[in-house]
Amino acid sequence: MTEIAGKVAVVTGAARGIGAAVAKRLAGLGATVLLVARDKTKLAEVEEQIRAAGGKAIATAVDLTDADAVSAFTKSVVDRFGRCDILVNNAGIATIGTLLHDTSPEVWNALMDTNLRAPYLMIRGLAPLMIEARSGQIINISSLAGRNPVKGAAAYSASKWGLNGLTYSVAEELREYGIRVSVIAPGSVNSGFSSLGTNEAEGGWKIQPDDIAEAVAMLVTQSPTSFISEVLLRPAQRKP
Ligand SMILES: NC(=O)c1ccc[n+]([C@@H]2O[C@H](COP(=O)([O-])OP(=O)(O)OC[C@H]3O[C@@H](n4cnc5c(N)ncnc54)[C@H](OP(=O)(O)O)[C@@H]3O)[C@@H](O)[C@H]2O)c1
């Protein structure tokens, strides 16, 4: 098992849901976790929870749809830490129940900018640090909607199919530098995916955010001679 104590991990969308669970797990394994999302209050809560549990976390409010803001953040990682060992591109939004021809260009752009362009911008800013170190791990949180057709969610689905393609291709680009790039594609997660308006109280049958954190922990502690390129996660139970 590879140790991650002392490593620096960036987790986007860490203010709640899956990202918060992943950040807590990585901090529990000893990484210094840099938490990214927009909501300062929620970020501060997660940061405090990690610190109270004895972990190291630093929250930064960044709108990932703003390329300049992402550049400023990645530059701050370079200047302050000079390393980034783990990048988890988790932040995402969705719209479900709108047919593509009823989807406005603004909604389309928001989905693509958050789910697809933001991972590219983060990789653009942080991959050079990993290349310099000749090691690193990038994990993109996609969705089974990125492998299946989803009626009423064509734009969301397209953003996640795109994220899968980006992941497989970047994995090949960065492999020669010892950088491992993987995708985790979950089915329904009990996260209260806010943009979908799901109800956490009714989600006991779903995958739990900690299950995704478990998968991330598995990937980042895997022996360095190989990597799991793709994890498909399904709920153990069917929807009641
Ligand atoms: N929940 C599911 O059923 C499910 C299933 C498969 C895949 N996924 C994927 O899992 C990931 C996390 O989903 P979740 O269920 O944990 O959702 P969530 O509870 O709604 O959390 C989304 C996170 O992304 C952040 N975020 C959204 N837009 C952002 C932006 N422009 N800039 C910075 N941060 C932004 C949010 O923080 P702020 O609002 O504070 O910015 C929040 O921390 C997403 O990529 C989603 O597509 C979810």
| pLDDT confidence tier of residue 238, bands split at 50, 70 and 90 | confident
CB 36 within 8 A of CB 11: yes
| pLDDT confidence tier of residue 25, bands split at 50, 70 and 90 | very high
Q: Which domains does the chain have, with CATH numbers?
A: 8-233 (3.40.50.720)
Question: 143: Cβ below 6 Å to ligand 1?
Answer: yes
| pLDDT confidence tier of residue 202, bands split at 50, 70 and 90 | low
If you measure from the C-alpha of residue 129 to the centroid of ligand 1, how many angstroms do you get, rounded to a whole number? 25
Bigger pLDDT: 221 or 203?
221
Question: 39: Cβ below 6 Å to ligand 1?
Answer: yes
- Stretch 131-144: mean pLDDT: 98
* Best of 11, 12, 18, 95 for a ligand 1 pocket test (most atoms within 8 Å of beta carbon): 18
Extract the tokens encoding 9.
């991990």
If you measure from the C-alpha of residue 169 to the centroid of ligand 1, how many angstroms do you get, rounded to a whole number? 23
User: Quick one: three-class SS letters along the chain?
Assistant: CCCCCCCEEEEECCCCHHHHHHHHHHHHCCCEEEEEECCHHHHHHHHHHHHHCCCEEEEEECCCCCHHHHHHHHHHHHHHCCCCCEEEECCCCCCCCCCHHHCCHHHHHHHHHHHHHHHHHHHHHHHHHHHHHCCEEEEEECCHHHCCCCCCCHHHHHHHHHHHHHHHHHHHHHHCCCEEEEEEEECCECCCCHHHCCCHHHCCCCECHHHHHHHHHHHHCCCCCCCCCEEEECCCCCCC
Q: Full-prediction pTM beyond 0.75?
A: yes
- Stretch 21-50: mean pLDDT: 98
Instruction: Dump pLDDT digits (tens) for 65-102.
Output: 999 999 999 999 999 999 999 999 999 999 989 999 99
